[in-house]
Amino acid sequence: MHLTRAVLPGMVAHGRGHVVNIASATALVSNPNMSVYAASKWAVMGWSDSLRQELERSVTGVRVTTVLPYYIHTGMFDGLRSRVIPILQPEDVARRILRALKRDAVFLHMPGIVRLLPLLRGLLSTRALDFVLNRIFGVASSMDTFKGRDGAAQDLREPGGGRS
């Protein structure tokens, strides 16, 4: 946010530019053992989309894309297990972001199944959504073997813990 606020006046003055905010699929659903992380990603998504609407309403020429990826293999989530959805590779994520910018995408969901999360959240009761995500997709247990970097695992396993 601070970087965007610093460079945005120049983009607006030039009548063009593109802000890319990396949120997470966690911005669309809750995930146990990641409460602080989830809160920061929900905040990024809300701020990013509000900024997009403000810039479009003011006809600035500056675009905003919000990226909502599943786990990316960067080391941050070392030890994590994903039962159904494969962990994303950084190079593929970077290529997909560049393609999204070329087509002026508002949101980039990775993988595509992440796009279904808001629909499921709207159609299913909270307990039914918990069942689908946790029993079928294994979201609740994905962090059980988490190691992370620099002792992050302990922080994330404490109730209400996590790093943003």
Q: What is the pLDDT along the chain (164 residues), one digit of tens a residue?
A: 999 999 999 999 999 999 999 999 989 988 777 889 899 999 999 999 999 999 999 999 999 999 999 989 888 777 777 778 888 999 999 999 999 999 999 999 999 999 999 999 999 999 999 999 888 887 777 766 667 666 554 454 455 555 44
In-domain check, residue 130: yes
In-domain check, residue 163: no
In-domain check, residue 73: yes
Domain extent, residue 58, equals 2-154
In-domain check, residue 160: no
Domain count, the chain: 1
φ, ψ of residue 63 to 5 degrees: the values are -105, 160
The rounded distance, in Å, linking the Cα atoms of 149 and 137 is 25
The rounded distance, in Å, linking the Cα atoms of 21 and 68 is 9
What's the CATH code of the domain at 52? 3.40.50.720
Quote the pLDDT of residue 164.
40
In-domain check, residue 164: no
Q: Do 51 and 19 meet the contact criterion of CB atoms below 8 Å apart?
A: yes
In-domain check, residue 18: yes
In-domain check, residue 17: yes
The rounded distance, in Å, linking the Cα atoms of 56 and 75 is 36
What amino acid is encoded at 11 in this protein? Answer: M
Quote the pLDDT of residue 149.
65
Q: Do 59 and 13 meet the contact criterion of CB atoms below 8 Å apart?
A: no
Q: Report, in this order, helix, strand and coil percent for the chain, each rounded to 5.
A: 50, 10, 40
In-domain check, residue 136: yes
Query: 66: which strand partners?
Result: 21, 107
Extract the tokens encoding 16: 């063009």
From 17, 19, 27, 37, the catalytic residue: 37
Q: Do 51 and 101 meet the contact criterion of CB atoms below 8 Å apart?
A: no
37 tagged catalytic: yes
Q: Do 25 and 70 meet the contact criterion of CB atoms below 8 Å apart?
A: yes
